[in-house]
Structures are given as structure tokens and as C-alpha cells.
Structure 1
Amino acid sequence: MEEEKFDLICILGPTASGKTTLAVALAKMVDGEIISADSRQVYRGMDIGTGKDLEEYGDVPYHLIDILDAGEIYGVSQFQKDFKRVVREIRSRKRIPILSGGTGLYIQAVLQNFSHTYIPRDFTLRDSLIDKEYSDLKQLFEKLPKAHSFNADISTHKRLIRAIEIAKWLEGNELLEEPDLSIEPIIFGINLDLDTRRSNISERLRERFDKGLIDEVQQLLDKGISADMLIFYGLEYKIITQHLQGDYTLEECFNKLEIAIHQFAKRQMTYFRKMEKDGLKIHWVNQNTLTERLDFITKFVP
């Protein structure tokens, strides 16, 4: 087996696949620090719904978790900046950065150094686009002068609207380049068979309900976080907020959420496969137990 040079380890995979457990065990082996690549774990107070499991880290240092209050805006451009800063800090301590998470856009943006900047949201534009069909939005996007001046992710209706927003903003503004950060990543992707993945998701969702997931969402509402913002965060926060507003019974809420998370996990895997097509080499970890996964990874990571 040809030896791969690397200075950063990435663990990616769908929700409920055991990424944190694997990343923590690996960090202990290689003297590493974990960088979370999760678009919702950045928010304080959103703990159960995002699966932070902070006690699992033990004495392993972790980064980019609980850095903002719920209700604030955070996106890929800020993640890139924070990622570069944290990697430099970890390297200064002579330790190995371990990027771990399931937000494919964030992971791909930092590993392939996509050009992003903080571009303000245009809510008037969004309101004018939200009800349009995906095909109409794509046609509109393709006609914009700046449509191909950046690496746009147009894989979903929501992301296509954001791409239009960025392209229109770029017509009158310029992207500012940040100092580059050189990294040589080695990427491991957890690949569960469908039955195991679905079983894990359903079991974990029941556990989260038992731990007080509905109370967590109610507490966020009580703190003044708007229902619209929680719905924007998606999945647990969206559907439980709608339940608390009286749209669904508790049973309907659970069932709708279970289906939504299964669909989300499928989209995650689709995005990871897209990353491969875009040139990122992923070593797929097909084993189910932690010991077997570590045995596989240590073939590449001495």
C-alpha cells in the first residue's frame, strides 16, 4: 500500500454513523485535536438536537462548537476563516488537526479551498424566489453574468437561491482573497449499510426525545429565538417548532422527523460521493465496530 503524506485527518459520514466516537479515539492515538464540521453545533443551547455529546470528548480538545448564540447567522465563509485560524493554532502546538462532521459543504470548502466570502442575505430577493420551481431558478442563475465566477453549490432549491444571491451581489462587489493555508488531508468516510444507518437514526431519535429534545426547542423559543429562525435551522428544530405551534401531534412530529432525517442522511451520502467526483479521495470505512474501524484507519495512519 502506497504511503500517503498528510497533515490533517478528516472523518466524515452521515448522521448517526459514529463520527465523534471514531474521531475521539483517533485523536487519542495521534495526539490530535478535533475541529467540528457541523453547521449547527456552532450554536450554544442547541445541544440535544445537534448531537454534541460533549462528554464523549473527555480530555480531547475540540473546536468550533458552542461559538455563537442560537439565532445568529453562521455560514461557510466564516467557517473557512475559523477553520484556518484553528488549524494554525493546533499546528503551533505540534498536534494533528482532525476535521470531523457531516456538513459536506463545509468540509469540501476547506479541503478544496473554495472561494467564499461573507455575502449578506437579501431577504427581498429570497422572498421573490422562494416559490419558484428549481428549473426556473437554475435557468435564472445560468443567465447571471457572475454565475460561473465562483464555485456554486446548486444541489438543492435552498442552495440555488443562495447561489443566485451571491451571483447578484458579485455584480457590484469583489471577493477579497484570504491568505492561503496549505493542507494535505487524508479523508475517511464512514459507510454504513442502509439497514444499519436507518436503525441507528431511529434509535438515536428516540433517545433524543427521551433526553428532552422538545423541551430544548421550547427553551430556545422562550429565550426569544424566533420560530422562523428555528425552522430555518431545519430538521429537529423545524419540525418540533411546528409541533409546538400546533401543526402536528407528538406522534406525527416524531414520524415526520424520522422520515426527514433518513432523507437527510441519504443527501449527505450523495454529497460525499459528489466530493469524490470533484477530486477528493475518500477512504471508505465499511466496518461497524470502533475496533475494526481503527484497525482499518491505522493501515493509513501509523
Structure 2
Amino acid sequence: MPQYDLITILGPTASGKTPFAAHLAYELDSEIISADSRQLYRKMDLGTGKDLADYTVNGRQIPYHLIDIAEPGYKYNVFEYQRDFLKAFQTITAQNKLPILCGGTGMYLESVLKGYKLLPVPENPELRASLADKTLEELTELLGSYKTLHNQTDVDTAKRAIRAIEIEEYYATHPREQRPFPQLNSLIVGIDIDRELRRAKISNRLKQRLEEGMIEEVTQLLNSGIAAEDLIYYGLEYKYLTLYATGELSFEEMFSGLETAIHQFAKRQMTWFRGMERRGFTIHWIDATLQMEEKIGRVKELITRKEVTNKLNTGE
């Protein structure tokens, strides 16, 4: 059996996966590849929770990839993510380092861990027109009827749901391109956080980011010429803060609606990760409340266990 090609750190929002991945990268002299569908946009910092300070450990800057690679307003997709992931992966492995994939966007994670053969999907105006009057709930139900996988954790606006259906419909009617994608052998580590602790951290973090200027960040994006509907497309913080900035929601309505939406998002993330386990992925769950040294020790144990198994299997 081959050694690990990759370490994957996943978990719901506010679970502490980024600082853990950064400390692990420090210990292993490695680099991080982000798997977050929003953090790849420039100038969208507080709303996406980039927390770039987390990538500095003991005074050393941990290199990271696939953050700040696209302009706000652009609609990046999972096909592009596969392409950009491979470039980052090859850059890191060329240095004889073990890459660390870290994030909570399930479809991004699964698309590279399983090596889906994906195609660039064009817009379908007729399909979009036929779906235009449907509610988000109706669109989400329709999306769930397709046999292929799509990341429903990120589908929290009608536009995102329609795009997801557009992609699934295209795959249902077009044979997949046999584009080579490496089969990666990854150690997958999940950060397991208690539901009530997760909810408390989400609420506290939301208040902190509002105090740090998250509303001003959205206002600046709008003032720079980005259309309100393009920001709303990204969902969660950008949906609710844009509606507040344009006067469609009061501050109280924005805060309570956004807080609830983030809690629901974290629940959907966990549902996705449990689904990954049902689809054959082995996720080694680590308690989020453990000290950093303990968490890192657990991962090192798992790596060592793999190395010992390899030696036994090869007779070394």
C-alpha cells in the first residue's frame, strides 16, 4: 500500500480546523490547500472567515493556496477547483512535502478525494427560465432528485440552487470526459465539535466579525461596483449583509436571520460529512476541545500506524 499523498482536515464552520491545520503544517513542514468555496475571493475577508492570522504559527508564515485567487462577483466552480487544486498539489509535492487539504466545502473536498471526472458546464437559458419562479425549497428538493453529487451545503440562495441543477442536468445528458485525475490516498481527519459548543462559537464569532467591520466590507464591495445580486449569490454573510446594506432588512432581522442561517449551514456540513462516510470515506474524528498538542499527536499516531502497516504488508 502506498504512503499517504495528502492529509485532509475537514469539519463544520467554527470547529477550529484552520488553526489546527496550520499548526499541523508547522509540525510537518508542509503547506495548506484551502477547500472553501468563498475564501477564494479577494476582498471578501471577514464575511468568509479567512482568519489569515491563523496561518502564522510561532512566527512562521505557513504557505497557503487557493485563497484570494478570484475577483468578487465571479462565479467560480468545482471544475475550476479541481484544476487549481492539482496545480497547488503538484507545487507542494515537488518540494517533497505532504500537502494538507483543509476546508468545509464538501463538494470541493469530495471532488478531489474521489477524483470525479468533471466538465465545464455552460449556462442553459431555457432551464434557468423554467426554474425562475420556484422557491429555494422547491429547487433544493429538485436538486436532491439527481443521482450525481452536488454540494447542497452551499445552496442557500435560489441562484446557487439553479446553477447546481444546471450542472446536474448537463451531466445527466452529456457523457463525462475521461479527463485524467490522480487517485489520491488521503488521511482524512474530522474535527468533531459538540453541537451546543459549535452554536455558541458561531454566535460569538458573528458578533466579533460585525464589530471588526463586516458590514463595512460589504458596503465597500457594493460601492466598488459589484452588483447586489452578485453578492447575494454567495449566500450566508453576503446575502444577509447585502440585504441590510440595501435597506431590505433591519439590523435585528439581518442578525437573527444570518445567525440562524449559519447554524443551519453547519448542520448541513455535518450531514455531508456523514454522507461521505456512507460513501466509503474513512474519517478519523478528533475532539475539537483537545489541546493542540494532543490533536497533532493523534494525527502523527495515524501516520505512524499507516507506515507500520505498509512495512508489514511489504515485508520490510
SS at structure 1 position matched to 2:303: coil
SS at structure 2 position matched to 1:44: coil
Cα separation, 1, equivalents of 2:23 and 2:256: 33
The residue that corresponds to 1:297 in the other structure is: 299
- TM-score, normalised with respect to structure 1: 0.89
Deviating more after overlay: 287-296 vs 46-55: 287-296
Aligned match of 1:177: 178
Match of residue 262 from structure 1: 263
Report the counterpart of residue 195 of structure 1 in structure 2. 196
In the other structure, the counterpart of 2:225 is: 224
Aligned equivalent of 1:75, options 66, 74, 77: 77
Distance 1:70 1:294, change over 3 A: same
The change in CA–CA distance for 1:176 and 1:137 in structure 2 (over 3 A counts) is: same
With over 3 angstroms needed to count, the CA separation of the structure-2 counterparts of 1:48 and 1:287, relative to structure 1, is closer
2:78 maps to amino acid:
V
What is the alpha-carbon distance in structure 2 between the residues aligned to residue 13 and residue 229 of structure 1?
A: 27
In the alignment, structure 1 residue 46 sits paired with structure 2 residue 44: yes
Q: What residue number does 1:105 align with?
A: 107
Distance 1:139 1:224, change over 3 A: closer
Q: Distance in 1 between matches of 2:109 and 2:172?
A: 27
Deviation digits for residues 65-105 of structure 1 (CA, Å, limit 9, x no counterpart): 00011011201111011111111111101111100000011
SS in 2 for 1:41: coil
Letter in 1 for 2:277: E
Offset at residue 162 of structure 1 (A): 4.0
Matches of 1:180 and 1:294, distance apart in 2: 30
* Aligned match of 2:150: 153
Work out the percentage of aligned pairs sharing the same amino acid. 46
Q: Comparing 79-88 with 210-219, which one deviates more in the overlay?
A: 79-88
Relative to structure 1, the CA distance from residue 122 to residue 292 in structure 2 (aligned partners, 3 Å threshold; closer, same or farther) is same
Q: Which residue number corresponds to residue 244 of structure 1?
A: 245
- Choose which of 46, 54, 57 in structure 1 pairs with 2:55: 57
Provide the rounded CA distance (Å) in 2 between the counterparts of 1:191 and 1:33.
23
- For 2:99, what is the secondary structure of its paired residue? strand
Name the counterpart of 2:208: 207
Measure the CA separation in 1 of the matches of 2:217 and 2:139.
38
- CA distance, structure 1, for counterparts of residue 6 and residue 121 of structure 2: 28
Higher mean C-alpha deviation, range 91-100 or range 158-167: 158-167
Q: 1:66 to 1:200 in 2, by over 3 A?
A: same
* Structure 1 residues 155 and 34, CA gap change in structure 2 (3 angstroms): closer
Distance 1:192 1:235 in 2: 21
Q: Distance in 2 between matches of 1:140 and 1:153?
A: 8
Query: Aligned to 2:269, what secondary structure does the other structure show?
Result: helix
Question: How far off its partner does 1:166 sit?
Answer: 3.1
Contact 2:46 2:217 in 1 (8 A): yes
- 2:27 alignment counterpart: 29
Q: Residue in 2 aligned with 1:16?
A: 14
Equivalences, count: 294
SS of 1:300's equivalent in the other structure is helix
Contact 1:138/1:160 (<8 A) preserved: no
Tell me which amino acid in the other structure corresponds to 2:18: T
Q: Within 1, Cα distance between the matches of 2:75 and 2:244?
A: 24
SS at the partner of 2:102? strand
How many angstroms does 1:114 deviate by?
1.4
**Which amino acid in 2 is paired with 1:222?**
N
Distance, in Å, in 2 between the alignment partners of 1:140 and 1:75 is 17
| 8 Å Cα contact 2:232/2:238 also seen in 1 | yes
Q: 2: CA distance between counterparts of 1:38 and 1:229?
A: 18
Using the TM superposition, give the Cα deviation of residue 178 of structure 1 relative to its aligned residue in structure 2, in angstroms: 2.4
Letter in 1 for 2:249: Y
Contact 2:119 2:177 in 1 (8 A): yes
> Conserved in 2, the CA contact under 8 Å of 1:243 and 1:249?
yes
Task: State the AA in 2 paired with 1:97.
Answer: P
Please list every run of 5 or more consecutive structure 2 residues that lacks an aligned counterpart in the other structure: 305-316
Alignment correspondent of 1:280: 281
CA-based RMSD of the aligned residues comes to 2.5
| CA offsets 1:26-80 (integer angstroms, 9 cap, x no match) | 0011111100000011100000011111122121110000001101120111101
